[in-house]
Structure 1
């Protein structure tokens, strides 16, 4: 193979990962050059590939692709490209590697040494450090630079670990963490981060955590569970490197939940035996805090679909895309639910400056070119002060693409479980494409990567994943969420070779499963109807004689009424949560006098919905004022049926009719409206 430049190697690696091919425009977009530059590079790549058994095919309409004389030739090319990658890094890669060096260092590092290892000047390193100071300050880490001394970080071990975890979250995918993916590990940033977080012990930590057989860990959502594993793995790695927590670290004083502290002690004992560690009391307290934070994050303190800003963004986005496409997206409840969940997290990521990765961006642009343009135009129309990258637009396109392709389920013969790395958007898109193009496959639902390894085999016929899993290769099949023609052929072969026909499974067991599912569905419907009736029976409109411009006193008076009704056990605690949420952003519904105050708390005894009309308006954030307060409260632990009802009510606030009733209607009138709408929701 001839000598190739870094850009030519980058193009070849892109083509190796896209076996169906890419257009020159897609390649140009991915690597940040012009289409003309790509065509020029192709001429040199063709000559560079001579004698390696891999040919470059260019075809109008389908793009550019690589074809090997044998699988071994393709594998050999990939290995040579990765092994021979030059030591020049992008600016972003360089900064990550500088952060890694500083976070791992036990003593000051000379700027010259950093520059030499990264093949840049001392001046470039100095400029990079200037830009990194604000990122490090988020973790209370300070860059110390002295002439003749070098550069080092000043801060606690706890904050160093937090920074390492954040880097891992921003730059590593699930596939990097749990799959084989050895080729990707040769990428310098990926390899360095996997070393920092202790990749070899991550799955050992995961097995130890699962073996504890705790119910609360099984209820964690996939992202929180994965972040917990990263934090625990980083802790193990730092202990092995003798970077111990300081006794004076605030974390050692944190024992807010005694049962969780005892659980942390049991887990620490298991880790010590499994991995041969010696863990101090400070480390046990650190584990206890990580457990507590994970449980808090997964349970959440807010009710779904009740963030006013998120609801408004989703409502306007759906309207804008519907207007441009003529497609009735507003009728799709699943689309709305998925967007609310996604957009809330997306806005948070954008405001925090978190790096957004979307490995499916190129195929999304290719398969949904028109919809991508519409989504970009719609987002630009409704967002102010937010620079939304194409990666985020790609995720939104997956939600709308899934909605466009949503069809009635046909007859099924095989039961499949989906595992995806990009959240609900990719799993829904893949599920719908499967139901449309391969109706013999029934998608039972989505599973996280750690659940997939533990689902009883009798419950499904096959596992379909978009990422590498910690399972034997014959136990699952890896496909693209876009379900290309190549994927379909691959899936059919897998079914023929690896999956037992549904008819060969015991018919009695299938019948039992069907009956059990029907009974569970009836129970769920009964619970849902009971929640609707209970919530409406307890709904009341109160006239509150509050003091002018006194939000805190107004909330206290409202909660005092709810305390007497038995809905709230600690009014002061709930009031503090409501005020804290308001300080994060006004709860006033745009263009109304109605504010929606909501929270979930252990100090709330039962779900409640109450309306308070105020004698005097109260000030909110951003200079707004509220004359009516709708208070929606729920316990921390809440059945999914209760969440569904409260979510549906909050979604109704996107329309004007309910808001007008809340502002001026009578109690019975509001109850009747809610009852009619919730009856439709129940019927659906």
Structure 2
């Protein structure tokens, strides 16, 4: 880079201390490393070898990238991740000496690291090849390599790394390397192109599903630019729907205009599969509140923590709903061996030392057959901490939206801390990082985030979910600074009008909640089914034929597929009963549906269990908040022994009466919480 006129191979060999043959062989590797950087290696006999950038910025960026790799004392964990990144990006074997040299350690150390790295490689469905005289390489298709890179990025990067404006020079070596493998400068272009498609399904994705898809897309774009395209044989055992392929075609057409890249057919199919997986990832968690296992675990956990603290956590429905939602994602992460990051773990342990020990002990008592790390315990403590500090909201003067990277637990903790210590701020809700920049400024006065956002610094204030003394001072200063901006006086003046409008909105929500309960109970029936023996699919066919006649579903076969898929994930049989809860949420369902089916012959379920009674709970893809609350409350009732006995042996009228009585109690508690006098 310092020799603009170039150097001969002999000059390089003499300066580096290797043979001319080695220089020529290494040049092939350097050409591969330069792909996607905008810098070209020119080799001309007689004049030598030189680098040339398409633009001056290309050479500057390459120099920064090389300087970022300066000698450093890597931790063991960092060294293994960096080694894995090297192997994933390499197209041919790497010598032990080369790895040892780049990571500044000895060859025996690298050998030991490889021994420890092998299980991680297998977890990604890749093979680690190690042969004397040949080198080390990872064996796997382009599809699996991309998935491994995406998985590493998800496990080791947070939202601030992905979308914040933190300089890579100040990032750790692992963060910088993974962002390079994703091509961070192009990530927000990919995200903007995705958002500009204006698809309903992308707006309905969960934040985790949306971000995972964005990471996978960014990795794919970077690999394509490096010349590592997907081939026909790379995608096996899966054929995406034609609708998703068309969506992928439209998306890549838009992306090509932005990034100037061509995408061929195998890449279209790969991107289509990413779209379908994101949809599926969101749908799996859509009715987490109705998952019997999760509701029971949350109930037992709350019961144990309440017993040790004396705090009436059982009365807090918000806590129960938050725990159920969090536990679904947490147990999936633990079972899949995904690395769990909780940057707030140390402050949580310090501020909630006693509660942390209580929750840790309570989780261990549950005997979940899972090793729950302290990072997850920290997230659970945040839920309980938020619940213990939750107080009635006082008069509000400023409206705020929250953006949190740690999900529901951190947003609820920060929200309740704000309500308690700064009651002049009304928290309107929690939004994802990608929604934050798209909410009209007129809809809020403050944007409070726990991460860096792709927004100008004057648009938001960054705080810790624990709301420290320094955070409160920073927030007050931010409010003072932004109150001087044009339009803020108008924002304060409109508060009175909005408070008046809120009274009508609360009445509307009350009516909507009551309508949902009445509608669901009106449609509740007990059916006696003459089903075949040992035939779950046939039993579901008969059940869904009845539901189809009631116009609650549009496609019985599609709904059956989703019910069976959920059952294969783990039986929905309620412990110590013959009652199973079958539930799903889909665009093929037209309205909320709840009914009980008593079977003539017990139907076989997962885990070698059988169901004599099936409670079917269905919901459309687009579901009102009130309807979701009612379904969530009914699923929680299944922990009541009295209701389970009625479901197995009671009459239709007895069951409906019990549900009506419990829902009436729920309605009263909800209206009180929302400030409505009944």
Q: Does 1:451 align with 2:439?
A: no
SS in 1 for 2:597: strand
How far, CA to CA, are the matches of 2:601 and 2:488 in structure 1?
69
Corresponding residue to 1:476 among 453, 457, 460: 460
Aligned partner of 1:371 in structure 2 is: 355
Aligned partner of 1:356 in structure 2 is: 340
Q: Does the 8 A contact of 2:93 with 2:134 survive in 1?
A: yes
> How far off its partner does 1:506 sit?
5.8
Q: Does 1:314 align with 2:319?
A: no
Closer/same/farther in 2, CA of residues 514 and 286 from structure 1, 3 Å limit: farther
Q: Does 1:589 align with 2:574?
A: yes
Q: Does the 8 A contact of 2:533 with 2:602 survive in 1?
A: yes
Q: Does 1:385 align with 2:347?
A: no
Aligned partner of 1:175 in structure 2 is: 160
Closer/same/farther in 2, CA of residues 468 and 346 from structure 1, 3 Å limit: same
Corresponding residue to 2:248 among 243, 259, 264: 264
RMSD, matched Cα = 2.6
> How far off its partner does 1:508 sit?
7.3
Aligned partner of 1:496 in structure 2 is: 480
* Per-residue Cα deviation, 1:507-556 (whole angstroms, up to 9, x for no partner): 77546645665555544444433332222122111222334444333333
> How far off its partner does 1:188 sit?
1.1
Aligned partner of 2:313 in structure 1 is: 329
How far, CA to CA, are the matches of 1:170 and 1:630 in structure 2?
38
Aligned partner of 1:627 in structure 2 is: 612
**Equivalences for residues 435-450 of structure 1 within 5 A:** 435-450=419-434
TM-score (norm 1): 0.83
SS in 1 for 2:290: coil
Q: Does the 8 A contact of 1:161 with 1:231 survive in 2?
A: yes
| More deviation, 364-373/611-620 | 611-620
Corresponding residue to 1:217 among 163, 187, 202: 202
How far, CA to CA, are the matches of 2:170 and 2:527 in structure 1?
61
> How far off its partner does 1:454 sit?
2.0
How far, CA to CA, are the matches of 1:388 and 1:506 in structure 2?
46
Q: Does 1:668 align with 2:650?
A: no
How far, CA to CA, are the matches of 2:395 and 2:326 in structure 1?
31
| More deviation, 395-404/544-553 | 544-553
How far, CA to CA, are the matches of 1:572 and 1:169 in structure 2?
35
Size of the aligned set, in residue pairs, is: 602
How far, CA to CA, are the matches of 1:552 and 1:131 in structure 2?
45
**Equivalences for residues 414-433 of structure 1 within 5 A:** 414-433=398-417
Closer/same/farther in 2, CA of residues 83 and 508 from structure 1, 3 Å limit: closer
How far, CA to CA, are the matches of 1:210 and 1:563 in structure 2?
35
> How far off its partner does 1:124 sit?
4.1
Closer/same/farther in 2, CA of residues 383 and 437 from structure 1, 3 Å limit: same
Aligned partner of 1:187 in structure 2 is: 172
How far, CA to CA, are the matches of 1:136 and 1:472 in structure 2?
40
Corresponding residue to 1:295 among 279, 283, 293: 279
* Per-residue Cα deviation, 1:165-212 (whole angstroms, up to 9, x for no partner): 100000001111111233775311111111111111111222222333
How far, CA to CA, are the matches of 2:123 and 2:457 in structure 1?
41
Closer/same/farther in 2, CA of residues 249 and 545 from structure 1, 3 Å limit: same
How far, CA to CA, are the matches of 2:448 and 2:554 in structure 1?
46
Q: Does 1:395 align with 2:379?
A: yes
Q: Does 1:563 align with 2:553?
A: no
Q: Does the 8 A contact of 2:71 with 2:104 survive in 1?
A: no
SS in 2 for 1:305: helix
How far, CA to CA, are the matches of 1:595 and 1:255 in structure 2?
32
Q: Does the 8 A contact of 2:482 with 2:488 survive in 1?
A: no
SS in 2 for 1:553: helix
SS in 2 for 1:213: coil
Structure 1 residue runs of 5 or longer lacking an equivalent are 1-81
Q: Does 1:644 align with 2:629?
A: yes
Closer/same/farther in 2, CA of residues 522 and 267 from structure 1, 3 Å limit: farther
Aligned partner of 2:80 in structure 1 is: 95
How far, CA to CA, are the matches of 1:183 and 1:274 in structure 2?
23
SS in 1 for 2:250: helix
How far, CA to CA, are the matches of 2:651 and 2:169 in structure 1?
63
Q: Does the 8 A contact of 2:285 with 2:328 survive in 1?
A: no
Aligned partner of 1:245 in structure 2 is: 230
Aligned partner of 1:618 in structure 2 is: 603
Q: Does the 8 A contact of 2:209 with 2:278 survive in 1?
A: yes
* Per-residue Cα deviation, 1:27-73 (whole angstroms, up to 9, x for no partner): xxxxxxxxxxxxxxxxxxxxxxxxxxxxxxxxxxxxxxxxxxxxxxx
Closer/same/farther in 2, CA of residues 217 and 515 from structure 1, 3 Å limit: farther
> How far off its partner does 1:371 sit?
0.6
> How far off its partner does 1:289 sit?
2.4
Q: Does the 8 A contact of 1:306 with 1:647 survive in 2?
A: yes
How far, CA to CA, are the matches of 1:285 and 1:653 in structure 2?
43
> How far off its partner does 1:667 sit?
0.1
Q: Does 1:553 align with 2:542?
A: no
| More deviation, 493-502/217-226 | 493-502
> How far off its partner does 1:504 sit?
1.6
Q: Does the 8 A contact of 1:251 with 1:289 survive in 2?
A: no
Corresponding residue to 1:534 among 510, 519, 523: 519
> How far off its partner does 1:594 sit?
1.2
How far, CA to CA, are the matches of 2:306 and 2:151 in structure 1?
37
How far, CA to CA, are the matches of 1:631 and 1:105 in structure 2?
51
Q: Does 1:655 align with 2:640?
A: yes
How far, CA to CA, are the matches of 1:506 and 1:242 in structure 2?
52
| More deviation, 119-128/450-459 | 119-128
How far, CA to CA, are the matches of 2:654 and 2:131 in structure 1?
72
Q: Does the 8 A contact of 1:184 with 1:190 survive in 2?
A: no
How far, CA to CA, are the matches of 1:506 and 1:378 in structure 2?
46
Closer/same/farther in 2, CA of residues 461 and 635 from structure 1, 3 Å limit: closer
How far, CA to CA, are the matches of 2:204 and 2:586 in structure 1?
17
> How far off its partner does 1:427 sit?
0.9
Q: Does the 8 A contact of 1:301 with 1:636 survive in 2?
A: no
* Per-residue Cα deviation, 1:556-578 (whole angstroms, up to 9, x for no partner): 33333323333344434433332
Aligned partner of 2:397 in structure 1 is: 413
Closer/same/farther in 2, CA of residues 490 and 341 from structure 1, 3 Å limit: same
